[in-house]
Structure formats: structure tokens, C-alpha cells
Chain A
Amino acid sequence: MTVILTFLATIAGIAGWWLSRQGLMSKPWLESVGPVPQTDPSHPPPYRLGTAVLLAVIGGLFAMLGSAFVMQIDETPWQLAPLPDLIWLNTGLLVLSSLALHFASRDEGQGRQIWLVVGSVTAVGFLLGQLQIWTTLTQNGYELSGAPAASFFYLITGLHGLHILGGLVALAWVWLRLSPTDERTDGEAPIGLCALYWHGLLVIWLLLLALLLGLGNEFLALCRSVLT
């Protein structure tokens, strides 16, 4: 459970920082009645905060998957599926997609439309590339119903892909409803929320990739040795 506990420690750190700014040491029963105080709503506006909370939940989901993955490494003869080089191209496409949506959220008019096209096409390319990797692995004998190490690859990449797909649906909905005259670039702008979601899924993907490539094994072994 190292992965999820690390994730929760990060969340706890953020929550602790936020709580420390909420006057937890105040004595509300002694406050003399005077001016109405500022209530200090949290800095990100509602939709941005909602997207951030959603990303935290999705992060928790993948941290749990990561924990389940790591937990089973010691259980059985564990052989990670050798990933084709295509995985790097896919990762590059996702990075490009994330960057494009970032620029789309900052740009206006024609430029925004171009960035949206680039972001969407690269995201679709990422998904198609992931499907191609599934096909390659299956042909090489690493089937979904095979050893758990291979099954985890399909499960993790599948769930991540589903989240990208959901993001694409949301992006399409935003795009269709976007007025040509809407030039909002504030934190609540729908394209900006999509970009935030994309950035979150990119970070999650990079961490998952490290896990699937076995890059975190030494770190995890160290954590386990400390715990045990």
C-alpha cells in the first residue's frame, strides 16, 4: 500500500496547508460582534476547484491500482510485459496534446481553434497508439487473461484511456458550445478546465509509465524495507 499512502500523504499535506489558513486556532465564541469578516473562499474558483478535486479522486483511483500492482510483485513469478517503443511515441503525443490544450486555453480566435484541433488529434492518436500496443502484446503472447503482470498493463492503460476518452467527450461538448466571441481566458474558462484535466492525466500517465517500466521498483523496495 506504499503508493496509495504516499499519495494520501501528499493530499494530507495540501489539506494541512489549507487548514492552517482557516483560523483553526481562533476562538469564535469570544469574537466580539463587529464587521462581517471575509470568508475567504478557496482561491481557485468553483469549476476549477471542482476539476482539481476530480483529479485528486482520479489520482486516488490510479494510486490504488498502483498499490494493487506493487502488492502483487512479490506474490508470484512476476514478469512485466516488454513494452514496444511505440509507448514513447504515445507518451510524446499525450505531452503534445496537453501542451496544445494549454495554448488553446490562453489563445483566442483562430489560434485557439488550431490548438484545439492539434490537442484533439494528438489525444486520439495517443488512444489509437495504446490500442496498437495492446494488439502487439497480445500477438506476443501477453494476453489479458494471462499472468497478472500482463493483466495489470491492460487494466491500467485501459482505465487511463477511458479517462482520456471521457475528456475528449467533454472537450467536444465544450468546443461545440463555445461561442466564437467567447474570449474568456480566466480560470473558469471551459477550455482551461479541459487543459487542467489533460495536465492531470498526463502527470498520472507519466507516473503509471514509470511503474509499468519497473522504474520505481528500487524506491518501492526501499520503502518496504523501511516499513518491515
Chain B
Amino acid sequence: MADLPHDTDPQLPPAEVADVMPPHAHSWWSHYVFSQDAKYIAIQYSGTAIAIGLVGLVLSWLMRLQLGFPGIFDFITPDAYYQFITMHGMIMVVYLLTAVFLGGFGNYLIPLMVGARDMVFPFVNMLSFWIYLLAVLVLVASFFAPGGPTGAGWTLYPPQAILSGTPGGAQSGIILMLVSLILFIIGFTMGGLNYVVTVLQARTRGMTMMRLPLTVWGIFTATVMALLAFPALLVAAIMMLFDRLLGTSFFMPALVELGETLSYGGGSPIAFQHLFWFFGHPEVYIVALPAFGIVSDLLAVHARKNVFGYRMMVWAIVGIGALSFIVWAHHMYVSGMHPYFGFFFATTTLIIAVPTAIKVYNWVLTLWKGDIHLTLPMLFALGFIVTFVNGGLTGLFLGNVVVDVPLSDTMFVVAHFHMVMGVAPIMVILGAIYHWYPLMTGRMLNQAMGHFHFWITFIGAYAIFFPMHYVGLVGVPRRYYEIGEPAFMTTPVEGLNAFITVAALTVGAAQMVFLFNLYWSSRHGRVAGSNPWKATTLEWLTPVVPPEHGNWGDDLPLVYRWAYDYSLPGAPEDYIVQTDPGPKTPAAGPL
């Protein structure tokens, strides 16, 4: 905190935002359950997301058991396999990754990092979580509904999604999925309004937009994108629900099912694909941008170095956010489109690699000549960079129509998007938990368990997805319950498939060690004290750790400098916190 009492600083500008203490909890229920404190809401969001994420993890094990050892597990029927695929995909992309990054880290870090007491609309923020929880419960309910959950694939393409040949299509599976998505979007919108307005309105004195940590820039931009992209999914879900329940034909052409002519006619399945991917591609960056921001902060803190090219990092985040809205149809090359459109979307897809590459270069240059501490957050951050580059490069291949068309329906694509959108962001989530766990609990996570967790996860992820690229290249199609021995496959892959399955089970088991570490360290971990990583940003500067209600005690913090004053020449320590009003020696080097 600043040494100067606020009212004695003659140069202090008047407060632009009223310092209002958020509502106090009056009972155990309003403190721990129906809490309006963003920190509790963050933990509720994260806990729920991790719980449903574990369901998604188990589903992936079941899929891998079928692919690695076909015919052995009788309970994995073809219908069940498609249901596992569908639920795994939707859970991981929407209910885990989006919820953890925005609902979890967004809620915890935005108020603390911008120097606010809480979100601007705490009640709406609380509602956001409870509607999210309801969405998760509706989704889980579909496992127990007659016919089970939908097996339409996570993209839910019509017309098959609502026909009787697809698991859950003629029963309640697809209905519960669509209702759950609608609830999720309503809940997210409530939270998203909070994140955006808090960043715009509740920054403390001195915290200009260009002094914000990149974590906040990433979450803020991703939230704006999500608020604009999720309506596309909402519209698609509502229209499909109408088709399924009310007999409309928005997405349903005239068709015959099992010899019977259905009453549908006149609709366009391709329209659904446009709507879905207009949400679906920004969704990749809704997950990636917070990860980009967080990893930038992890690298700066643990390499004791300012972020290289801060301005360009901000521009790149904004640029990627904007560009991600004009690349959606690269997911639809195999659906057929005008060649000029294919050219357009291939070009925009390649252009988006430019700001992305700027970020990667800047991360590497942040590390260059840094005082790198190979802490657990740093290990996960490094793991992210390597994995993101690998996944991103195969994305450049797939962005081209002529490469995508033959590879689109193979395991190559599965490997690609799991590297770039599965493993990479999960690495950041894990690194961020290791980094901010001391702030949330006051204790450090156990190092030995952490190292075991990192190395098994990192090596295991590559053991899963590197061979999967090869499996796809030799022709193994995705979404197949069992491929047998087709004539077009000249290279046997049974051994590789079994290997991948064993690796997947091992990586999954390592996550149990992590969960145990979370529990064990909260009771027995080394006491962290305040600011154990010697970071500069505001979240570490609260009067009490973990931060209490209202975050800042009597006075809001004053911000005198940007977020990355590390290893300044002539400074007594290798970091200067944002609230330090002392003299500053300009850093050398960055753009």
C-alpha cells in the first residue's frame, strides 16, 4: 500500500468512483452459500466447473477405453460412445473452460487487480453463479433421463441431432442439452455484464487502462467477445428447441426417416452451422485470451522481468478478439461453400496468426535474459507456450481448404484442437492455480506433489496427442465407434491406440494427485505470508491474506506505476509494487 495517507497527498486527484462497501453478509447462508462476494463466487464457479470437468475427464477415459481396446468393454455401446463424445466436448469447452476462466479467475482477479472492493453488481453476480449451477444440473440430469444424454456430437448439427436415430434425439437428451445451454448463456451474460462494467468503472485511482495487468486485459476482451458471440448459440439453441418441440422447420429440410416422411420441410441445416460456428470460433479465443493474459503475468513474475512489448500485447489481444469474428466458416469447409468464401476464410485464418505470433515472440523475449525461477507456475507457463505453438502450427495447416478437406474428419483434427484448446489452456489454469492458491488460502501448494503433477501431465499430454496426429494422418477417422480393418488403412494403429489410452488414463490419474494437493495443502501447506512470489500487482497487496470482505480495508489503493516493474536497474529490490510512489528508473528495452 502507498505510504502516503490519501488525504494528505496534495497531488492526488479526486476520486472518480464512489468508494462503496459491498453488502455485508448477515448469516452463514449469505456468507458462504448465497454470497455476493466475488471471491466466494469465484470459488463456487471454479469448484462447480472442476466437478463437472471431472465428469468430462471420466467420459474421455471411457472413450479411450473403447478406442484402445475395442470389443472388451461391453457396457460401451455405440450409442453410449456417441453420448460420451458429445458430453465430453460440451462439458470441457463450455462448462469447464469458459466457466473457470471467466467465472472463476474473472471473479477472483478483476476486482483485486483493478483495485475495486467488489464487482459493481454483486447481486447479479451471485445470480450468475446460481443460474450456471442450474445449467450444470440440467446437463447432468440428462444422464439419468430416459434414453440418456444426447449423442449428436458436441456441435449438435441438425437434422440428425433431433431425429430418432441419434441417441437422445427423440427423447429428452437433446432438449435438456439445449435448455442447459440457454441457462448457461443467461447466467454468463449476468456475470459478463459485471466483468465489463467493473473494469470500465471501478478501477481505483491511478489504474489507467494501460496500467492494467494483461490478465485483466485478456479476461475483459474475452468477456466482451463472449457477450457478442454467445447470442449466436442462444439463437441456434432456441430455434432447434422449437424444431424439436413445436414442429417448426428452421433447420430441418424435408426428409424421410425409417421409411416415414416427416412433417419437416423448408429449413436449412447449414444455417445452424453458421450460427454455431459464429459462436464456436470466438469461443476458442474466449478461452485463449484469458490464458494469454494470465500466462504473460506468470512469466513476468517468475522470470523477474517486465513483459516484453506490453503495448503490442494489448493490441494483439484486442486484434485477435476482433479477427476471431471473421474466421468462423473455416470450420465448415467440408460443408461446401463458394470457393471465394473458402479463400476469404483461409486468408483471415492465416492473418489471425500474426497477432498470435507476436504474443508468442513476446513471451519468449520476456524470458530472454530473465532471472527465470523454475517454480510450478513457471513450468506450467512454459508448458503452455510449447503446447500452444505446437497446436497453433497444425492450425495453420488446417486453415487451408485443400489441407483441411482430407484431414477434417480424421483424428489429426482431434489432436490439433486438443493441443491448442485442451492441453494449452488447462496448463494455464493449473499454473494459475499454483500461482494464486497462496492468495486464496494463505498457504503454498505442496511442491513434491506439484512437480509430480506437472511432469506426468506435460509428458503424458504429449504421449496422448503427438501419436494422435500420426494416427489421423494415416487415415483413422474421428467419431467412429470402431474402425475394424478397413481397406484404406495400410498402417496398423492398434498398438498406438492402446498406448494413447494408457497415457490418457495416467494423465487423468495425475489430476487426482493435484486435487488431493489442493485439499492437503489448504490444511498442511507452508504458510505463504503476503506476496510470496514478490509480485507487483494489486491483488497481492491487500492488508490481509486471503483478502477479506471489501478487499482493501479503509482506503482503496493508489496506483503510481504499471504492473511490470521487475529488475529495474538501481532499485533496491527486483520488484516495485504498483502502489509504490517512490522515484522510478525507466526500464530499458521494451517497445
| B contact residues around A60 at 8 Å (CB) | 227-228, 231-232
Inter-chain contact A26/B11, CB cutoff 8 Å: no
Given known A37-B13, A65-B235, contact A1–B274 (CB-CB < 8 A):
yes
As a 0/1 sequence over residues 8 to 25 of chain A, the CB contacts with chain B under 8 angstroms (1 = contact) are 100110010001001111
Interface positions, chain A 69-87, Cβ under 8 Å from B, are 71-72, 75-77
Which residues of chain A have a CB within 8 Å of any CB of chain B?
1, 4-5, 8, 11-12, 15, 19, 22-42, 45-46, 49-50, 53-54, 56-57, 60-61, 63-65, 67-68, 71-72, 75-77, 144-145, 147-148, 151-152, 155, 159, 228
The residue of chain A having its C-beta at the shortest distance from the C-beta of B233 within the complex is A64
Contact between chains at B228 and A11 (CB < 8 Å):
yes
User: Chain B interface residue count: which class?
Assistant: 35 or more
Shortest beta-carbon distance from A132 to chain B in Å: 20
Q: Is there an interface contact between B306 and A29, defined as CB atoms closer than 8 Å?
A: yes
A35 touches B11 (CB 8 A): yes
Verify B210–A26 contact, CB threshold 8 A: yes
The answer to whether B196 and A75 touch across the interface, beta carbons within 8 angstroms, is no
Instruction: Closest A residue to B194 by CB, please name it.
Output: A50
Give me the 4 closest cross-chain CB pairs, A-B, nearest first: A145-B247, A28-B562, A35-B11, A36-B206
A33 to B586, CA, bound (A): 10
Q: Is the CB of A151 within 8 A of B203?
A: no
Q: A52 vs B11: C-alpha distance in the bound complex, in angstroms?
A: 34
Q: Which candidate, B373-381, B504-512, B517-525, B553-561, is the interface stretch facing chain A?
A: B553-561
Is A39 a contact of B314 with CB atoms below 8 Å?
no
Known: A11-B228, A27-B311, A33-B561. A46 touches B197 (CB 8 A): yes
A32, A35, A63, most chain B CB atoms within 10 A: A35
Residue B248 interfacial (CB < 8 Å): yes
- Offer 23 A-B interface pairs, CB within 8 angstroms, sorted by A: A5-B325, A22-B210, A23-B208, A24-B314, A29-B587, A33-B581, A34-B11, A36-B9, A36-B206, A36-B559, A38-B16, A39-B204, A40-B208, A46-B201, A50-B120, A50-B197, A60-B232, A61-B234, A61-B235, A64-B231, A67-B274, A75-B266, A148-B266
In the complex, which residues of chain A have a beta carbon less than 8 angstroms from the beta carbon of B271?
Answer: 68, 71-72, 75
B338 contacts partner chain A, Cβ-Cβ < 8 Å? yes
Q: A148 contacts which of B12, B120, B250 (Cβ < 8 Å)? A: B250
Q: Which residues of B contact A12 (CB under 8 A)?
A: 322
B residues with a Cβ closer than 8 A to A are 9, 11-13, 16-17, 120-121, 189, 192-193, 196-197, 200-211, 224, 227-228, 231-232, 234-235, 238-239, 242, 246-250, 263, 266-268, 270-271, 274-275, 278, 306, 310-311, 314-315, 318, 322, 325-326, 338, 340, 558-562, 564-565, 581-584, 586-587, 590
B203 contacts across to A, CB distance below 8 A: 39, 41
Q: What's the least CB distance linking B213 to chain A, in Å?
A: 11
- The interface centre, meaning the residue of B202, B204, B267, B587 with most chain A CB atoms within 10 A of its CB, is B267
Q: Output the least CB separation between A200 and chain B (Å).
A: 14
In the complex, chain A residues whose CB is within 8 Å of the CB of B9: 36
Known interface pairs A29-B310, A53-B193. Does A23 touch B13 (Cβ–Cβ under 8 Å)? no
Chain A residues with CB under 8 Å of B275's CB are 64, 67-68
State in angstroms the CA–CA spacing of A61 and B278 once bound together: 12
Do B248 and A145 touch across chains, with their CB atoms under 8 A apart? yes
Closest to B587 in A: A29
B200-A49 in contact (CB<8A): yes
Q: Determine how close the nearest CB of chain B comes to the CB of A101; give it in whole angstroms.
A: 21
Give the nearest-CB partner of A1 in chain B. B274
Q: A29-B586, A50-B120, A60-B231 are in contact. Are A145 and B263 (CB under 8 A)?
A: yes
Which of A8, A39, A53 has the largest number of chain B CB atoms within 10 A?
Answer: A39
Known: A46-B201, A145-B246. A8 touches B325 (CB 8 A): yes
CA of A5 to CA of B515 in the docked complex: distance in angstroms? 43
A15 and B120 contact, CB distance less than 8 A: no
Q: A32 to B201, alpha carbons, bound, how many Å? A: 25
Residues of B contacting A32 in the complex (Cβ-Cβ under 8 angstroms): 584, 586
In the bound complex, residues from chain A placing their C-beta under 8 Å from that of B278 are: 1, 4, 64
